[in-house]
Chain A
Amino acid sequence: MATKASRSAARIMMAPAVILLLGWMLVPLIMTLWFSFRTYLPLRGGDLGFAGIDNYIRFVTSSAFWPAVVATMTIVVGALLITVVFGVLLALLLDQPMWGQGIVRILVIAPFFVMPTVSGLVWKNMFLDSVNGLFSHVFKFFGATPVEWMIDKPFFSIILIVSWQWLPFATLILLTAIQSLDSEQLEAAEMDGAPPLKRFWFITIPHLSRAITVVLLIETIFLLSIFAEIFVTTAGAFGTKTLTYLIFQRVLESQNVGLGSAGGVYAIVLANIVAFFLMRIVGKNLDA
């Protein structure tokens, strides 16, 4: 049992981390809250006084708001669906006995380590460009007219890029979960004559449900705030302006800090709703 002395020592050792994170969380948060109730235009007169809840109303009633919500939802839901569905399939495949499993794993995981600005630009130019991109070459080969992917199919393009980045993450976590599946259970089901699809649906999927939930929640938190992938590809044009990007533009590009901060508060509330569910799962695991 810990002594009194070691308890106070423990407290001192924890202090720097706790104080730093507390400051990091509270100071900017309070500033954002404060700005969100002010008319604050750094380049056009500075702080022009109390604005009540004007910023909050203006943010959600501006013509850019709903398109941004739709763009955000499209990208998040699209990427989630693709990464989870293909992640499960890929994890199942990688769990099978094969030659060179280690190398295949490395190939599959690699995109996760590519920095967002690189994956954005490489995809945009070398694959999705309507003249010199590889996709266009393939289209030309089959006699089809190349598509201006970034302009005509901006959501497809961005979802493709983001899914490529996050598929490895989903696969790796689901693979870890599959490997902890008790193979005896599957064998028993097999002997009882359950066909593969049934075994998958009634044994594997329930076993994976927790891992899938974790993947969904963690990816949602990260996907809600993707930035660089849009910054280097469409820069918010062609309807791809997400909430994160809209707030960024309000705050840094048009320097309407009051309005942007109100948007920031909405983003924080939204992220917290997702985080709440994630934390419950993490917390449960901590007890075990």
Chain B
Amino acid sequence: MARAVTSRRKTINTALAWGVGLIIFFPILWTILTSFKTEGDAIAYPPKFLFFDWTLENYSVVQERSDYMRYLWNSVIIAGGSTLLGIIIAVPAAWSMAFVPSKRTKDILMWMLSTKMLPAVGVLYPIYLMFIKLGLLDTRIGLVIVLMLINLPIIVWMLYTYFKEIPGEILEAARMDGATLKEEILHVLTPMAVPGIASTILLNVILAWNEAFWTLNLTAAKAGPLTAFIASYSSPEGLFYAKLSAASTMAIAPILILGWFSQKQLVRGLTFGAVK
């Protein structure tokens, strides 16, 4: 960097960027703050920013009244289960595409991605019907399967780009030394692939956690994850800002934290490698 940056310019940049950053973050901050207020303080005019009676009451009320833990557990099972299942199916596929490419590899990859572009609403009724016929409506296993399928293309794609970065010579060296396919995967490839697999898991847990088309349309009270739990707050009766805020905070906190670790993977995963 040859250009000298005056500290004055740096100060201006800093002030400007922090200002914009705080404005963008403000709705989240406000939600978190409101979750610690009493209902009265939550709608007070003028709004109370920091000086109010901090209380944890909303959190216990939300848990008691709507059984937050059950929804949380559903979210964990659905997001985690669909991601793991997807990884199990995608690792072999991505491995073979990255290391034993054929003429059709590229076409297969592109085709897989194209299935991701299918608008969900276009196939809503068929899936709904199949769920009824198979008894999968409002079950966690049903959602695990559907979310696995909608994220499978991204999982395969991300793993493929990570595996591609592993030098092929290492595998050939292992092969020369007489390693079998199984040994090759287990002892050579796996250790090198772990970081990529971990990143892929991270991003896909986030995507599955926040998915809000199938989770809203295919669940009711039993298997509903947090997206559905929050949507139940849209009915006007019994709408309280502090409780809505507490419920929202609990729904987004885990993923906000995970998300901050996954910034880089976000670009790779969501642009399918089109931006590097």
The chain A residues found within 8 Å of chain B, CB to CB, are 2, 6-7, 9-11, 13-14, 16-18, 20-21, 24-25, 27-29, 31-32, 35, 90, 93-94, 96-101, 103-123, 125-127, 132, 134, 137, 140-141, 164, 167-169, 172-173, 176-177, 180, 183, 187, 190, 210-211, 214, 218, 221, 224-225, 227-228, 231-233, 244, 247-248, 251-252, 257, 260-261, 264-265, 267-268, 270-272, 274-275, 278-279, 281-283, 285-287
Contact = CB atoms under 8 A, between A and B. Distances in A.
Contact of A282 (B126, B212, B273): B273
B102 A244 contact: no
A228 B212 contact: yes
Contacts of B128: 251-252
Interface in B227-266: 227-228, 230-231, 233-234, 239, 241, 244-245, 248, 251-252, 255-256, 258-260, 263, 266
A114 B16 CA distance: 24
A122 B31 contact: yes
Contacts of B123: 28-29, 31-32, 264
Interface stretch (B40-48, B61-69, B191-199): B40-48
B125 A105 contact: no
Interface string B9-45: 1100110111011101101101100100000000101
Given A247-B122, A264-B122, A268-B118, A9 B230 contact: no
B121 A227 contact: yes
20 contacts: A10-B99, A13-B93, A28-B126, A31-B126, A107-B22, A111-B25, A113-B206, A117-B216, A121-B244, A126-B31, A173-B275, A176-B267, A176-B276, A180-B276, A214-B274, A224-B119, A244-B119, A247-B124, A271-B117, A271-B118
A99 B10 contact: yes
B89 A16 contact: yes
B156 interface: yes
Nearest to B212: A228
Given A93-B17, A282-B113, A118 B248 contact: yes
A99 B252 CA distance: 27
Nearest to A222: B270
Given A14-B92, A21-B112, A283 B125 contact: no
Given A11-B96, A115-B227, A282-B272, A268 B259 contact: no
Nearest to A105: B263
A125 B241 contact: yes
Nearest to A24: B149
B166 interface: no
Contacts of A20: 89, 149, 152
A97 to B, nearest CB: 5
Main SS class of interface, A: helix
A177 B275 contact: yes
B117 A251 contact: no
A30 B150 CA distance: 18
Contacts of B255: 113, 115
A134 B47 contact: yes
B96 A14 contact: yes
A137 B47 CA distance: 8
Contacts of A123: 27
Contact of B216 (A112, A218, A231, A275): A231
Contact of B252 (A93, A115, A137, A285): A115
A21 B43 contact: no
B1 interface: yes
A260 to B, nearest CB: 6
A32 B227 contact: no
Nearest to B95: A13
B227 A248 contact: no
A262 to B, nearest CB: 10
Given A7-B102, A110-B28, A117 B122 contact: no
B56 interface: no
Contact of A108 (B14, B21, B244, B267): B21
A231 B231 contact: yes
Given A6-B100, A7-B100, A20-B152, A98 B13 contact: yes
B270 A113 contact: no
B2 interface: yes
Contacts of B170: none
B124 A251 contact: yes
